[in-house]
Amino acid sequence: MWQLTIAQNSACTISVKGKVMDMNSIDALEDVSIAVLETQQGVLTDAFGKFQLNSLCKGKITLSVSHIGCQTQIFNFDLQRDTIIKIKLDHTEVELSEVQVTEAKKESHSTQQVATLETKQLEKLRGLSLGESLSKISGVTTLNTGSTISKPVIHGLHSNRILILNNGVRLEGQQWGSEHAPEIDPFMAQQLSVIKGASSLQYGSDAVGGVILVEPNHLPSQPGIGGEFNFAGYSNNAEGNFSATLEGNHAKVPALSWRVQGTYKRSGNVRSPNYWQKNTGVEEGDFSVTLAWKKENYGFEIFYSRFQTKLGILSASHLGNVDDLNSAIQSKTPLELSGFTYNIGRPYQNVAHDMLKVRAYVKTGKAGVLDIVFARQFNLRKEYDKHLPYNNLLAKKNLPGFQFQIQTLTLDLIWQHRTIKNFSGTIGFNGMTQTNEFKYGYFIPAFWNFSGGVFAIEKWRKKNLELEAGVRLDYKWLQVFMNHNGDNGTYTFNYVVPSGSMGIEYHINENVKWNANLGTAWRAPQANELFANGLHHGAASVEIGDKTLKPELAYNFTTGIQATTKYFDANVALYENVISHFIYLQPVLPSTLTIRGEFPTYRFNQSNVSLTGSDIDLVAKPIKGLELFSKTSLLFAYNLTTADWQIQMPPQRFENGIRYTLRDFKHIKETYFGVSIINVLQQKLIPQNDTDYAVPPKAYWLLNFEAGFKLQLKKQAIHFSVTVTNMANISYRDYLDRFRYFTDKQGVNAALRVRVPFFFEQKVRTKNN
Average pLDDT, integer, range 632-650: 96
Q: How is the chain split into domains, by residue range?
A: 2-89, 143-389+399-762
List, for residues 155-210, the tens digit of each pLDDT value.
999 888 999 999 999 999 888 877 788 899 989 888 888 888 776 688 888 888 88
**Residue 768: how many other CB atoms lie within 10 Å:** 4
Write the pLDDT tens digit of every residue in 296-328. Answer: 889 999 999 999 999 999 998 888 778 888 888
The mean of the pLDDT values for the chain is: 86
* Rg (the chain; Cα; Å): 26
Domains 2-89 and 143-389+399-762 share a fold: no
Residue 183's H or E segment, with its range, is: none
pLDDT of residue 566: 87
pLDDT category of residue 705 using cuts at 50, 70 and 90: very high
pLDDT at 641: 96
Least confident of 22-31, 436-445, 468-477, 533-542: 22-31
CATH among 2.60.40.1180, 2.40.170.20, 3.40.50.300, 3.40.50.720 for 143-389+399-762: 2.40.170.20
Predicted confidence band at 95 (pLDDT cuts at 50, 70, 90)? very low
DSSP 496-534: EEEEEEEEEEEESSSSEEEEEEEEEEEEPPPHHHHH-EE
Task: Please check the confidence at residue 49 and state whether its pLDDT lies above 70.
Answer: yes
Q: What is the pTM of this model?
A: 0.83
| CA 296 to mean position of chain CA atoms | 30
Q: Say yes or no to pLDDT of 114 above 80.
A: yes
Beta bridge partners of 568: 620
pLDDT-derived band at 290, boundaries 50, 70, 90? very high
Whether the CB-CB separation of 221 and 64 falls below 8 Å is answered with yes
The DSSP result for 438-499, as a single string, is: EEES-SS-EEEEEEEEEEEEEEEEETTEEEEEEEEEEEEEEEEE--BTTB--EEEEEEEEEE
Q: Residue 767: pLDDT above 60?
A: no
pLDDT at 369 over 80: yes
CA 142 to chain centroid, in Å, comes to 11
Distances (CA, A) of 56 to 102, 225, 402, 462, 644: 21, 21, 51, 34, 53
Beta partners for residue 702, in sequence order: 678
pLDDT beyond 70 at 600: yes
Give the pLDDT of residue 189. 86
The arrangement of secondary structure in 2-89, i.e. its CATH architecture, is Sandwich (2.60)
Residue 769 has pLDDT above 60, yes or no: no
Cα–Cα distances (Å) from 78 to 4, 257, 295, 543, 623, in that order, read 14, 27, 29, 63, 28
Separation between Cα atoms, residue 558 and residue 113, nearest integer Å: 7
